[in-house]
Amino acid sequence: MSIIIPKQILQEEINECGLACIAMLAESHGKKISMEELRELYPVMKNGSTLYDLMVIAEKFGLNCVPVKFHPGEIEELSLPAIIHYDDNHFVYLAYKKGKYVCVMNPAIGMQILHYRSLMEHISGYALIVDEVEPHKEKQKYKHNIFDYMSFLNTKGTSKIKGIYTLLSLTLIISLTGFIMPLMVNKAMNNVFGDEHSKEFPYLLYFLSFLLAALFGMAVKIYNEKIVKKFIKKESLLAFQNMMSHPVRFYERRTVGHMFSRFSAWVDSLSQKIYLDNILRGEWIICTISLALMIYISPLLTAISYIAVTVMGVISTLSLQKDKYYTQEIQNKQSDYNDFLMETLQGIKTVKSTGIGRQRLLKFSELSHELYSVIQKQNIWEETKSSLYRMTGTLETLLFVFVSLPLLYEKSISFGEFFSYSFIKVIFSTCVTNIFQAVIGKYKVNLIEERARTIIRHNPVRKNHEYNSGPVKNGELTLRDICFSYNGTNNIINCMNLIFTPGSHSVLIGPSGVGKSTLSKIVAGTITPTSGDILFNNQKVDESFLNEFVYYQSPDDIIFKASVIDNVSLFDMAQTDERKEDVRFILSELHLLDVIEKMPGGIYSLINHNNTSLSSGQLQRLLIARALYSNRQLVILDEPTANLDDEMAMITIKAIKKICMQKGKTLLVISHSEKIIREFNNIIKL
């Protein structure tokens, strides 16, 4: 039975290595399961999946899996393909074995070919294998061919860029001017050493040609940078928009450092795409022309160059797997590095107050060592490749001299042809090298795109609610039989029925962890209930409606780096005098206006989340002001008085109720404070 190697699947979310391994195992047995489908059906548990969980999931897709316990030294006897427990809490997929080596498809870093001894250091001795009664009939259907593996060379991504083919044509013209030099040398050498001597040689004409070619090259470079800039701006803006289109749970399952590293690496790769694609589109034309001229001058010498190029091609092909490994490894290490750095900066007050600076320094040193060790190894590998290329080029030159001098002595080729061939050979070698480097570059860019694809992919907002009567006005919001589960099994919200009448003021209470914030997120439309319906005036609505109707102020909200008025109005472009007065009124009611007016710019003063001019309590009240200013009809405040003393807490809650009553807003407050709870007649208990 032939070995089917599935496409490498890299994990995007925290603790989803098991799901990635299931998807690869399924593909190797003729079943196509997307990660999106698995995430939807089996949300990853907080602490990851167990081997039993994976076995249950596999059985749901028709894979009869059995758990196996073995001694690490018996890994060579393990039936493949298999999913094995790896390191502390990780799963990898073993695709096949060859001799003492095994193909390890690691959802965290990609494909590796490891010796059994190296693998034994990481495994615990638990695996999941497929107990096949008979070979799957559809296996051949998904067997990869050469076109699947070469799909990364596709240039469709840049083919629709306006002006791309004009740029390609101009670049080809510049490349063709490279043949002026061998033409001039050929004529000059024949003029000096040939049978016919001419006192006049058009040096000025050639000089002007070189000058015009240089100026033309500068103009094309400017045009190229203009297209690249436009392309990067458009693509990065669209990707940023797509990244923001994902639901809140998408971000909760990923670390900031990993998302930042993947997004920034993808943006950096955009500048290479046009350059690499144009090389693959046009460089072969120059390569073909130069090869034809070389064959015309001397087929024997051309054979030498062809052999050298073939050797370089073999080197490039063999290096792809190594390049892939280092590209993925650097991205992973860079992500961990960035994540730790951002975490330290965000929690610098905790670091300072608890005195754990030394521990953070040691951890930073460890992450830096891991990152720059991989970078060092990559640099050594790149230098090794360059040395092999140079060695091949040197051997080609020596062989060229050894073969060409007798031909020159026997006058099989003229001096002009000899020197022309030398220049054309340089053009040919440069073109071929550019093509090889473009293939490697495209391979790396494709890896970066794959890592970022989930982040930058558009997540369409589903507009499937029934309510469609213009601007959203206040009305009755009903929760009917709402259930929600984070892991797909245990409901944290179970058959909740709730009605928010227009203008009502309610308080939501209950012990920590019972689901108060989760319920608030469901009402706000930031997460989707597992089952049940949400209705507005007896019409079903979905997240897109709730996003426009509900304002949810959570403990995770931040102050943006902007003016006070922009932070309160959330960058409202129509800041009329009436709206500015509304901002001042809300700030005054929350006892903030006097403090802010004393700042250098008043409500136009620049602030941020770490602003030292405002206390934590004042910053929290500023976030409350933002919620009250919004045009949303239902305002949910999660622990709005948590950082306030009892006196200010009561002043704040009374101000909140007063403003909501004046604006006709529906209010829901989450609180543990008995004093705050007593301010509400409508108490919702979980």
DSSP labels for 643-677?
A: TS-HHHHHHHHHHHHHHHHHHT-EEEEE---HHHH
| CB proximity list for 54: less than 8 A, separation 6 or greater | 18, 21, 22, 65, 83, 91, 128
Domains in the chain, please, with CATH? 17-144 (3.90.70.10), 156-456 (1.20.1560.10), 477-685 (3.40.50.300)
Q: What pLDDT, on a 0 to 100 scale, did the predictor assign at position 469?
A: 43
Between the CA of residue 555 and those of 512, 609, 641, what are the distances in Å? 14, 13, 11
Between the CA of residue 566 and those of 386, 600, 603, 660, what are the distances in Å? 54, 16, 9, 21
| CB proximity list for 620: less than 8 A, separation 6 or greater | 640, 642, 643, 644
Sort strands 606-607 and 562-563 into parallel, antiparallel or unpaired: antiparallel
Are residues 454 and 12 in contact, defined by beta-carbon separation less than 8 angstroms?
yes
Count Cα atoms within 13 angstroms, Cβ side, for 645: 3
Q: What pLDDT, on a 0 to 100 scale, did the predictor assign at position 146?
A: 47
What span, in angstroms and rounded, lies between the C-alpha atoms of 305 and 396? 7
Q: What pLDDT, on a 0 to 100 scale, did the predictor assign at position 154?
A: 75
Amino acid making up residue 249? R
- Radius of gyration for the chain, computed over Cα atoms and rounded to the nearest angstrom: 33
| pLDDT averaged per 10 residues, the chain (length 686) | 72 79 86 80 65 82 82 79 82 85 83 80 81 47 49 75 85 83 73 60 79 87 88 89 82 78 87 86 88 90 89 85 81 84 85 87 91 92 90 89 85 81 86 85 83 76 48 81 79 89 92 89 89 91 88 89 90 82 93 91 86 82 93 92 89 94 93 90 89
Q: What pLDDT, on a 0 to 100 scale, did the predictor assign at position 462?
A: 52
Between the CA of residue 678 and those of 509, 639, 640, 657, what are the distances in Å? 12, 15, 15, 13
- Tokens 């001694």, residue located: 71
Number of Cβ within 10 Å of residue 674's Cβ equals 8
Are residues 396 and 255 in contact, defined by beta-carbon separation less than 8 angstroms?
no
Closest by Cα among 543, 552, 555, 556 to 668: 552
What span, in angstroms and rounded, lies between the C-alpha atoms of 547 and 38? 26
Q: What pLDDT, on a 0 to 100 scale, did the predictor assign at position 160?
A: 81
Number of Cβ within 10 Å of residue 339's Cβ equals 19
What span, in angstroms and rounded, lies between the C-alpha atoms of 310 and 435? 12
| CB proximity list for 246: less than 8 A, separation 6 or greater | 455, 459
Q: What pLDDT, on a 0 to 100 scale, did the predictor assign at position 252?
A: 75
Model pTM? 0.72
Beta bridge partners of 113: 103
Amino acid making up residue 552? Y
Are residues 509 and 460 in contact, defined by beta-carbon separation less than 8 angstroms?
no
Beta bridge partners of 112: 104
Amino acid making up residue 465? H
In this structure, what token pair is assigned to residue 677?
A: 């709870």
Q: What pLDDT, on a 0 to 100 scale, did the predictor assign at position 193?
A: 61
What span, in angstroms and rounded, lies between the C-alpha atoms of 493 and 286? 67
